[in-house]
Amino acid sequence: MILYGTVKTALGALRRNVLRTMLTTLGIVIGVAAVISMMEIGNGATIAVKRTMASIGANTVVVVPGAATTGGVNFGAGSVMTLTPQDADAIVRECPAISAVAPIVRARTQVVYGNRNWVPTYIYGTTPSFLRVREWTDLAEGEPFSEHDVLNSGKVCLVGQTVVRELFGGRSPLGKEVRIRSVSFKVVGVLRKKGANMMGLDQDDILLAPWTTVKYRVVATSLSSSNQSNSAAAGNLYPCTQLNLYPIPSTAEQADTPQPIRFTTVDQILTAARSSGQIPAAMEQVGELLRERHRLASGSPNDFNVRDMTEITKAMSSTTEMITKLLLCVAMISLVVGGVGIMNIMLVSVTERTREIGLRMAVGAEPGDILRQFLTEAVVLCLLGGLTGIALGRLSSYLISSLLHWPTATSLAAVVAAVVVSATVGMLFGFYPAFKASRLNPIEALRYE
Amino acid sequence: MELIELRDIRKTYFLGEVAVPVLKGVSLRVARGELLALMGASGSGKSTLMNLLGCLDRPTAGEYWLDGREISGLSAKERARLRNRTIGFVFQSFNLLPRTSALENVLMPLCYTREPLSEQVKRRRAVELLERVGLADRIDHQQSQLSGGEQQRVAIARALVNRPSILLADEPTGNLDSQTSQEILQMFQRLNVEEGITILLVTHDPGVAASAQRTIRMKDGLLAGIGEVQPAGTP
């Protein structure tokens, strides 16, 4: 009730000099509008940066098989094949922090088209979701192969730009057939150019095919041994005959790393966390799930490794943090400038209304009443400015996104912060003038000319 | 019981090291319902006495009994409440809030009252007072749209809105022509007779002082002569 009366009085006092009220508020309006539009543009930039980072694999979590140890001799990562395609299916089904998963079967061998041949850095047997994991879904040409092709070991493939250049001399390879170790693959799509990765390896030097095809028709090694790329005998026309459904590990290996029999294995599993923030959760969920699926007793070491792209993630978080801090600085400066404007005008207002203050004191206003009245005026001024600023800020960020096509993202936090900060600015910068007003001597104030 | 009793009131201002005595021992009794005038040349200390009587300032020494209460030692906050409840001020320069309607000007002192009054009660009281001072048709006029006499009448209504027992008028007719001055003085007399409000007029115009029941003269910080109470005469 008292608050209502004070706010009403404050509004009345502000209405008495509309032009000055508007000019005073302008500082806060511009400050808050700047904060809002900066925050929204900054948010947009952050999201854009995150998306870019995601496309170079920041959200990727890689699962690789563990190491085999025989008689104290460690054979290194990947020397025992422990991951199965079913593991991949289970990960995407049961880990909520994972958005997509792709099993990978690697091969390194010659690809032939016509009279040209080339050995791509990567020949990956995988599923269509590989493209989603690597943020590579929009192809330069053609269509990706389907889940159906994976089930049927379809002889289709996608090729990267480097492969197109080397084998096809830059002409469109769509519908052409390439041979990989005597198996012919129809090119159904061409990947967009991605360039080199952070190690300098050419990511466009790639050929993607259904993993079943690569596994059974191209590589076709025994299942639990490693090094598929060199174990398949060159020139074997029917590699499928080598398929051994029931691999028999050596007794020593069996004793050292006991494990259930796996019918089919993959070289690694590539997964994508839903967001960079969920990477730790994703790694933990994948680890738990795989330990359970591989029936590892508690205390025994993992027969797999889960890795994230720590370096990229760090770069990303420091970049976005930088953007946010920078914008915060700019926002602070503009709000402080606005606040100083408020203080300036409130001081002028106190001087100008000295007689009014004297009169109010004469009719019984206590110093506290005067303090409250001027403080309320400052806060009301700032809040009005804040609200106008929010509207103006939203408008300008809308204009920026629609006219300049910069990415923006609405930010509720910015709106809340703007309101809170403008009220605080009102309090801080309104206090001194209000205090000065409340300390006036009524006799002198009444006599003031 | 006297409404106001001053006992040997002294007020000394200090300009740096120099002490400037302004009131040098003023003793005065004012009965409830009196209409009296305070006269004196400028520099005689009548403004200082007025400020003390209006509880705007505190005496350096002496006792001030208002309505049976010694109030010379009250804090600023307590004096503010006292002013709000028991004292109404009318100034030479009217002191209305600019760009504010007559009604809102009259309502202003009620913002600071501690009495729990509803908005309707406050409004009714203000409207009644404006009607009493003959401004029923000027309620929504702003300060700039009112003549000097009308402004002073709004100021009187404002001074009365908290139903004070004392009205202090500092040169109330100083900025008005003689015709309007007479109207204002008659209004003071009417309020004094009909409402029993104690009124103190500060002036240096003998014509104004003549409308009071008695006149007090000040000279060099002392009361030079306390007149006898006369029936309110026509000036």
Phi-psi region of A353 (alpha: psi -120 to 50; beta: other; left: phi over 0): alpha
Tokens 């009417």 -> residue: B190
For residue A77, what pLDDT is reported?
Answer: 66
Q: How far apart are CA A71 and CA A257, in angstroms?
A: 11
> Do you know the residue count of chain B?
235
For residue B231, what pLDDT is reported?
Answer: 54
User: What's the whole-number mean pLDDT along residues A323-327?
Assistant: 79
Q: Which of B112, B129, B158 would you mutate first to test chain A, the one with the most A CBs within 10 A? A: B112
Q: Judged by CB atoms within 8 Å, which residues 160-189 of B form the interface with A?
A: 162
CA angle A75, A76, A80 (to 5 degrees): 70
Q: How far apart are CA A86 and CA B33, in angstroms?
A: 104
Using a CB-CB cut-off of 8 Å, the residues of chain A touching B109 are: 363-364
Domain-located, residue B46: yes
Does the beta-carbon distance from B76 to A366 stay under 8 Å?
yes
Does the beta-carbon distance from B108 to A360 stay under 8 Å?
yes
For residue A259, what pLDDT is reported?
Answer: 58
Going by C-alpha positions, the residue among B156, B80, B71 that lies closest to residue B113 is B80
- Report the CATH number that the domain containing residue B86 is assigned in CATH: 3.40.50.300
Query: Which contacts qualify for B184-187: CB closer than 8 Å, 24 or more apart?
Result: B184/B149, B184/B152, B184/B153, B184/B156, B185/B211, B185/B235, B187/B133, B187/B153, B187/B156
User: For chain A, give me the number of helices (H) and strands (E)?
Assistant: 15, 14
Given a cut of 80, whether residue A209 has pLDDT beyond it is: yes
User: In Å, what is the CA distance from A87 to each residue of A84, A209, A219, A293, A295?
Assistant: 5, 20, 20, 8, 12
How many domains does chain B fold into? 1
Largest CA distance in chain A: 112
Q: Which of B108, B121, B156 would you mutate first to test chain A, the one with the most A CBs within 10 A? A: B108
Using a CB-CB cut-off of 8 Å, the residues of chain B touching A361 are: 56, 80
Does the beta-carbon distance from B57 to A5 stay under 8 Å?
no
Global confidence as pTM: 0.67
Q: What is the pLDDT of residues A138-171, one digit of tens each?
A: 888 899 999 999 998 899 999 999 999 999 987 8
Domain-located, residue B232: no
Distance of CA A324 to the CA centre of its chain: 15
* Residue B70 phi, psi dihedral angles, 5° rounding: -85, 120
* Structural domain containing residue B91: 2-226
Residue in B76, B83, B98 nearest the CB of A16: B98
Does the beta-carbon distance from A446 to B95 stay under 8 Å?
yes
pLDDT by position in tens, chain B (length 235): 688 999 999 999 888 889 999 999 999 999 999 999 999 888 888 889 999 999 988 899 999 999 888 988 888 889 999 999 999 999 988 889 888 899 999 999 988 888 888 889 999 999 999 999 989 999 999 989 999 999 999 999 999 999 999 999 998 988 889 899 999 999 999 999 998 899 999 988 888 888 888 899 998 888 887 766 655 444 4
Q: How far apart are CA B172 and CA B90, in angstroms?
A: 6
Residue in A358, A363, A446 nearest the CB of B112: A363
Q: How far apart are CA B34 and CA B226, in angstroms?
A: 14
Using a CB-CB cut-off of 8 Å, the residues of chain A touching B85 are: 364
Given a cut of 60, whether residue A243 has pLDDT beyond it is: no
Does the beta-carbon distance from A364 to B76 stay under 8 Å?
no
Q: Give start and end residues of each alpha helix (H) in A83-134.
A: 85-94, 129-133
Nearest chain A alpha carbon to B88: A363
Q: Which of A363, A369, A370 would you mutate first to test chain B, the one with the most B CBs within 10 A? A: A363
Going by C-alpha positions, the residue among B32, B76, B48 that lies closest to residue B229 is B32
Q: Judged by CB atoms within 8 Å, which residues 38-67 of B form the interface with A?
A: 51, 54, 56-57
Where do the domains of chain A lie?
A: 2-52+316-447, 59-308
Does the beta-carbon distance from B85 to A16 stay under 8 Å?
no
Using a CB-CB cut-off of 8 Å, the residues of chain B touching A364 are: 80-81, 83-85, 109, 112-113, 162
For residue A419, what pLDDT is reported?
Answer: 83
The DSSP symbol for A216 reads I
Average pLDDT value over all residues in chain A? 82
Given a cut of 60, whether residue A244 has pLDDT beyond it is: no
For residue B227, what pLDDT is reported?
Answer: 67
Instruction: Quickly list DSSP for B54-75.
Output: TTSS--SEEEEEETTEE-TT--
Going by C-alpha positions, the residue among A62, A56, A50, A55 that lies closest to residue A308 is A62
Domain-located, residue B231: no
User: What's the whole-number mean pLDDT along residues A320-326?
Assistant: 79
Bridge partners (DSSP) of residue B23 are: B11
Domain-located, residue B43: yes
Tokens 């009366």 -> residue: A5
Residue in A12, A362, A366 nearest the CB of B56: A362
Q: What is the pLDDT of residues A355-401, one digit of tens each?
A: 999 999 999 899 999 999 899 988 888 888 889 999 998 898 888 88
| Percent helix, strand and coil across chain A, each to the nearest 5 | 55, 15, 30
